Structure 1
């Protein structure tokens, strides 16, 4: 029987509809093990980096210093780079803009080398992309979405960064700045945009020393692409190798040092585990909890270089860094995995996709591809948390990536474990395809309980009430209804930067008809819990999510 919330807020007002008509009907997917579908045999570039933007376009790019790609730039466009080791004049694209709803793409023009770079999206929706290799290691690149997407392209600033940022990590901050941390032999961090800071290493450098990064570097430099998560107290959880700290970046002080993660495994590149901040739930006391899974035993990288491919780690660790005496709680995945991508699903579960069962990241250093995703239920019974899904048709090894898209599917692409594009006479050819995984919640059997958001606001404000209208074909059950926002990630090298999910506080539910309702909720309570910017708003009913609707949190 339907239980109603007491509606205690002002009368409902539909502010605007933010869902395109093309999203209303999802293609049917059978089965409870999920389903893979190939979208493109080739998009011309290997998807080393991916970022979903708020106009439902995805920026995808590779590196520029390996020679020609398989996608030409528009007529009369060529990249002129006297510093390139392979092609001084290159008339092929190394970046594309993909449209989620039309399944089409077009080439973009990148000048400087984006190999192993990082990124974050500003509160206004502009992608800021930082660092790389060669002439790109000090570069900042800007991509601003535009209507239609036909004229947007990269704008580049070759020497903006204070230090060489190759394998660094970005995190958007509550004040709208981006922190850019680490990189190969870089034991420091800096900000975009730049600002005066008395803590800089020198007045001209703009970088701030962080000894933790020097301390955690081992012979394999396993602290590259350190994991960073913004905590609800405003500090940063930073994990490198097998150790972690809480950093007050405003004062450059280490607030807390956490216990070393058990199990003889390293988690950051090139061992390449993955990490997420589990959903923050505003309907109860906020608990921040970090989940880290996979990686490789210490020394695996050197072993792989010698031709010995060690089994990857099957362990996961969880820690609550804001507790007084936090400790790691360890679990075992059903499949060992390095180079896996961990993504938050609209249900609050975590999917782990891509990667290998043996070896590490690096040229030719991975073996035994893991083609079956695993879904992890953080709050299920310990013996029921992991479920193994259906197998993909393509192995995704080194230089692959994956992201969540608005209809709840996971987009996966890339895989190029070679110095150049190589399609023949190798065990794992370069893969330029795109495919999508539909999790079990997209199965056709759930259509009767799948909610559809029919109207939602374009903007939300912290702590302020707002309402959405929605439709459920049958069987609405109010006590299994939730509303969440998810910040899309910048994904590369097994880490989804800036990804976060907040379950919003529900206040009221009002029926308009037997199958149409108004739901009232509160915007996120603080900027530390949800920094300003664009998020996907998902309504979940009985474990089945709606299509996501874009909202701007101001």
Structure 2
């Protein structure tokens, strides 16, 4: 249900603690605390102590899994990485609704979740987190919450009204949960909920700009569950740096009611909208995907393209409410002309439906995991069995046919720590023929992903015009680190050399 890549190449994975016993046992002597009741949604009792894990640390390099103990319910929660690489995870359900959970990376297998009781001012269930330029994270909305707060706490009571969420709320089905939030290059937040969007000055609790309603007026947030990305940021040193947001897929108006109460599964949306949020008079530009999709994940790849993966062609998010798995990922090339941007990829054999997730790894693969539209773990006798597996999607840039064009970064240690606006040189190897005018350096943030939205996802294009020959097969390029925390909040990023749209394996750098 939730995944976060850490800067030691571990992936923290966690799930609903009330699904039932998982297939991964906690270490001897550890168990999830027994609860007397669950709540009004499923209304069932946990009668026995659960000594199975509902959180895990996946080690990408060793392909191994370590059980973690999450003590309170993390169902439909949220999170962000802070500047030192620590995962700060917020909210959930029942006894977990106001928890803050801390996971600090380690390499010796000793780290686990630390939970802070009443760390939040309000219950946060289906909320969205985002890291701010000052290092705090903002937690926005959630079921029944038309407000936001900060972590660490700002001032008592640390709760601020947010009428925009009330205005976009549909009492029958909500359709504005897990709002899409992106940090704009001016330090304000672009926030999209239902079918509307604003530019928000969180420091002064003020709407700076109201954008046009997305054409068609269809809902895009949970449970209609489309997805959104901030497209790659370029010209990072210029005052005219532009930011553009893309929103894709979802379910048409009425889908949730039709699916849940009438057993009628409406076809998903096949439209995407792009809007340049820095324009004085921004307008949506609409495009059509080759495959309609609800519950799809949009992932920024290191080369600046967008992968759309997972999800269904009919129905909506929610227990057993999706139909017709979309097995083919789609690649979107944002720099191509309209009509030539989408490219359908090879299919997977596993449906990835409600409660699945996807993240980009440092080696360029896309890690895909989960899928459980059932109210408990149910592995047989249902339309879409619970799937606890992980698999990797390999974009075409990992094909062996282009391996001689794939760059390899050298001298990585010299650029492990960067400061803003720093000039630095990256040395790299290419065994094939180098196209000097087709080299770029990019930085990708490790995003927190749940329910088809990757929080804090951003790709920074640093440039690549100054490529110099060093010796046989070795080259170097000078670039400049991002100029401000508005463009790139402090923290860990994966840095890549990209040659002819083929990225190197990334290296971890810390920007501060």
Same fold (TM over 0.5): yes
Measure how far apart 1:313 and its partner are. 0.2
Equivalent residues in 2 for 1:445-456, closer than 5 Å: 445-456=401-412
Q: Cα deviations across residues 168-199 of structure 1 (Å, max 9, x unaligned)?
A: 00000111100000000100000000122xxx
Indicate the residue corresponding to 1:235 in structure 2: 188
1:354 aligns with 2:314: no
Name the counterpart of 1:217: 169
User: Which residue matches 1:332?
Assistant: 288
In 2 relative to 1, CA 67–292 (structure 1 residues): closer, same or farther, beyond 3 Å? same
Counterpart in the other structure of 1:122: 82
d(CA) in 2 for partners of 1:290, 1:358: 25
- Please state how far the C-alpha of 1:81 moved relative to its aligned partner: 3.1
Deviation at 1:515, TM superposition (A): 0.8
- State which of 272, 275, 294 in structure 1 corresponds to 2:249: 294
Secondary structure at the counterpart of residue 339 of structure 2: helix
Q: TM-score, normalised by structure 2?
A: 0.96
- Are the equivalent residues in 2 in contact too, given 1:135–1:158 (CA < 8 A)? no
- Asked if the contact 2:223–2:318 (Cα under 8 Å) also holds between the matched residues in 1, the reply is yes
How far residue 67 of structure 1 moved from its aligned partner, in angstroms, is: 2.1
Aligned: 1:475 with 2:433? yes
**SS class of match (2:343):** strand
In structure 2, distance between residues paired with 1:195 and 1:81? 33
**Match for 2:446 among 488, 496, 504?**
488
Q: 1:264: how far off? A: 4.1
Q: Shift of residue 282 of structure 1?
A: 2.3
CA distance in 2, matches of 1:445, 1:241: 43
- Counterpart pick for 2:390 among 423, 434, 439: 434
Distance in 2 between the 1:453 and 1:154 partners? 34
2:53 is the counterpart of 1:93? yes
Counterpart position of 2:509: 551
TM-score normalised to structure 1 length: 0.89
**1:195-214 to 2 correspondence within 5 Å?**
195-196=154-155, 203=156, 205-214=157-166
In structure 1, the partner of 2:100 is 140
Find the partner of 1:244 among 182, 185, 197: 197
Aligned residue number for residue 149 of structure 2: 190
Q: Which of 18, 25, 33 is 1:72 aligned to?
A: 25
CA contact (8 A) 2:363 2:505 kept: yes
C-alpha distance in 2, partners of 1:100/1:84?
Answer: 37
- Please, which runs of 5 or more residues in structure 2 have no aligned partner? 39-44
Check the 8 A contact 2:439/2:497 in 1, yes or no: yes
Hey, what does 1:270 align to over in structure 2?
A: 223
* Matches of 1:505 and 1:347, distance apart in 2: 12
Q: Which moved more, 1:81-90 or 1:259-268?
A: 81-90
What is the CA–CA distance in structure 1 between the aligned matches of 2:235 and 2:507, rounded to whole Å?
20
Q: Which has the higher contact order (CA 8 A, sep 6+)?
A: 1
> Counterparts of 2:428 and 2:379 in 1: how far apart (Å)?
48
Q: What is the CA distance between 1:84 and its match in structure 2?
A: 4.7
Q: Which residue of 1 aligns with 2:422?
A: 464
Mapped contact 1:65–1:84 kept (Cα < 8 A): no
Out of 33, 48, 53, the residue aligned to residue 6 of structure 2 is 53
Structure 1 position 237, deviation (Å): 0.1
1:506 is displaced (CA, Å) by 4.0
Q: State the shift of 1:372 in Å.
A: 0.6
Partners of 2:141 and 2:411 lie apart in 1 by 42
Task: Give, in whole Å, the separation in 2 of the partners of 1:509 and 1:261.
Answer: 41
SS at match of 2:281: coil
**Distance (Å, rounded) in 2 between the aligned partners of 1:106 and 1:464:** 38
Distance 1:326 1:264 in 2: 17
1:502 aligns with 2:460: yes
**Secondary structure, aligned partner of 1:313:** coil
- 2:493 aligned partner: 535
Looking at structure 1, the residues matched to 418 and 216 of structure 2 have their Cα atoms a distance apart, in angstroms, of: 43
| Structure 2 residue matching 1:261: 3-state secondary structure | coil
Q: What is the SS of the residue equivalent to 1:382?
A: coil
Could you tell me how far apart the structure 1 residues matched to 2:467 and 2:273 are? 37
Quick one: distance in 1 between partners of 2:245 and 2:465?
28
Partner residue, 2:41 = none
What number of residue pairs does the alignment pair up? 499
Residue aligning to 1:406: 362
